[in-house]
């Protein structure tokens, strides 16, 4: 029993590397900074209390704008929008708060600039909080007014946490609520915001990283009139099946295996490092006959490795982002079973073999082993069996696309498979591809300025067609 539990826990803690970090900009800095309020601002930043609560659509103004404030090199302003939970509801129904942060280069608060919307990777992660000018954001702010959107359910956008979801006591009702937090409604939120924020409701450019790119392709499918251009970084979604999850994970597991082999071939340190982590799993038995226990040391590090207690949407909706009219049925778990001996961390350690990481996948055992997810276990299983998911893409619209699109496709990407991305690109009329092995999935983080400039060059003609 204990060995089985350890196997399950180790499979999560050691063999699962959640790619949240690769989808987040390097804008957080562990240093003190001063927020400076700018002159000439008459708007008051609204209080945060109640921002996470659902409300009737008439209970709060549709749009509240805060005052400008500053961090080194940037000026920022907070916006809160009261958007329908269900955009298809005839009377608007209940509303939720969606938060966006407007960012410009310092001194350009009143400058007329085209708007660029950034869609964060995920699902279930908020937009970055810039502490200073840097990376792609600094480059984008040279010519744009950037909007960092906390996608619904994340950050300050009515965040869904284990505690907030516990207010909905029935798993079936939790699923009924959670179904509104996929790309289709994120795009509807974006259009709601564009029509109220952008002067004359002009189309804006969208930059989508990873899952944010999936959302951008949904945008191209259902609201292309709101788009001036689209930039995708590791974010071309799979198309063409009612549920593409098994196709995705079968391709990803092969790539993950190759990347594991490379890291262990290049450097022997990871093997020793991972095995060392597993060696600290158990507390010593000090008294003969005493029960063997998993150590607090291991549990603490296990807790720090995973962010499901803060961002449970990643686990809950991770497979449903691939579903259109069919269920995922825990696809990653099914494909992993085909590689059982290869991705069993306990067996690998016992045999002195390299422990292989599984990448971004979510497995049902996580809802048993991760304390913050246990109360959401039934909802997770219902989501895995749910079949009546609405469409996320319109291939015929993409085939006739008129919006300029440029995409960075990473040749060895573990999370968005190169071959699948290339197939999707063939369905988007006019798309320009930059295929590179210089970066991995985290290219927007690791070389953001270069990646952004290269993609803009594809759109503005600085990078020739031939």
- Residues for the chain: how many in total? 466
The residue annotated as part of the active site, out of 91, 200, 341, 388, is 388
Q: Is 163 a catalytic residue?
A: no
Distance CA 122, CA 155 (A): 12
The residue annotated as part of the active site, out of 79, 318, 441, 454, is 441
The residue annotated as part of the active site, out of 210, 221, 331, 442, is 210
DSSP 463: S
Distance CA 391, CA 86 (A): 15
How many contiguous H segments (helices) and E segments (strands) does the chain have? 18, 12
Distance CA 466, CA 463 (A): 9
What's the Rg (C-alpha) of the chain? 23
| Backbone torsions φ then ψ of 275, nearest 5 degrees | -65, -35
- CA–CA distances in Å: residue 265 to residues 273, 350, 442: 14, 20, 22
Q: Is 368 a catalytic residue?
A: no
Q: Is 210 a catalytic residue?
A: yes
Would the CA dihedral through 169, 56, 309, 316 be positive or negative?
positive
Could you tell me the maximum CA-CA distance found in the chain, to the nearest angstrom? Answer: 77
Q: Which of 268, 252, 414 is nearest to 353 (CA)?
A: 268
Could you give the residue numbers annotated as active site? Answer: 210, 388, 441
């Amino acid at each position: 029993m204990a060995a089985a539990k350890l196997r399950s826990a180790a499979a999560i803690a050691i063999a699962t590397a959640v790619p949240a970090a690769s989808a987040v900009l390097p804008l957080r800095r562990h240093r003190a900074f001063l927020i400076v309020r700018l002159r000439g601002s008459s708007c008051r930043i609204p209080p945060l209390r109640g921002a996470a609560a659902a409300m009737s659509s008439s209970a709060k103004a549709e749009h509240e704008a805060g005052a400008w404030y500053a961090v080194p090199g940037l000026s920022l302003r907070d916006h809160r929008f009261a958007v329908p939970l269900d955009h298809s509801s005839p009377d608007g129904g209940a509303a939720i708060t969606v938060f966006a942060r407007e960012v410009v280069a310092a001194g350009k608060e009143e400058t007329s600039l085209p708007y660029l919307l950034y869609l964060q990777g995920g699902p279930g992660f908020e937009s970055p909080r810039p502490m200073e000018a840097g990376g792609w954001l600094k480059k984008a702010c040279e010519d744009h007014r950037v909007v960092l959107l906390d996608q619904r359910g994340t950050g300050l956008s009515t965040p869904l946490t284990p505690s907030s979801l516990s207010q909905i006591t029935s798993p079936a009702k939790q699923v009924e609520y959670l179904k509104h937090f996929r790309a289709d409604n994120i795009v509807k939120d974006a259009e709601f915001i564009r029509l109220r924020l952008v002067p004359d409701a002009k189309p804006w450019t969208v930059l989508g990283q990873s899952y944010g790119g999936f959302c951008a392709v949904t945008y191209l499918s259902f609201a292309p009139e709101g788009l001036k251009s689209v930039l995708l970084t590791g974010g071309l979604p799979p198309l063409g099946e009612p549920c593409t999850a098994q196709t995705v994970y079968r391709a990803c597991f092969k790539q993950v295996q190759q990347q594991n082999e490379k890291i262990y071939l290049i450097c022997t340190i990871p093997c020793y490092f991972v095995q060392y982590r597993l060696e600290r799993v158990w507390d010593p038995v000090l008294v003969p006959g005493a029960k063997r226990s998993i150590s607090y040391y291991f549990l603490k590090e296990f807790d720090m490795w995973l962010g499901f207690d803060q961002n449970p949407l990643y686990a809950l909706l991770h497979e449903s982002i691939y579903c259109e009219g069919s269920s995922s049925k825990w696809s990653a778990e099914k494909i992993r079973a085909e590689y059982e001996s290869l991705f069993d961390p306990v067996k690998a350690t016992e045999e002195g073999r390299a422990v292989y990481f599984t990448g971004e996948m979510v497995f049902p055992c996580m809802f048993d082993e991760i304390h913050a997810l246990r109360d959401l276990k039934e909802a997770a299983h219902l989501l895995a069996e749910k079949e009546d998911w609405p469409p996320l893409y319109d291939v015929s619209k993409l085939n006739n696309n008129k919006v300029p699109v440029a995409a960075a496709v990473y040749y060895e990407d573990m999370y968005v498979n190169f071959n699948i991305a290339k197939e999707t690109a063939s369905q988007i009329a006019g798309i320009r591809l930059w295929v590179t092995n210089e970066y991995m999935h985290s290219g927007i983080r690791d070389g953001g300025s270069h990646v952004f400039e290269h993609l803009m060059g594809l759109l503005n003609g600085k990078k020739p067609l031939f």
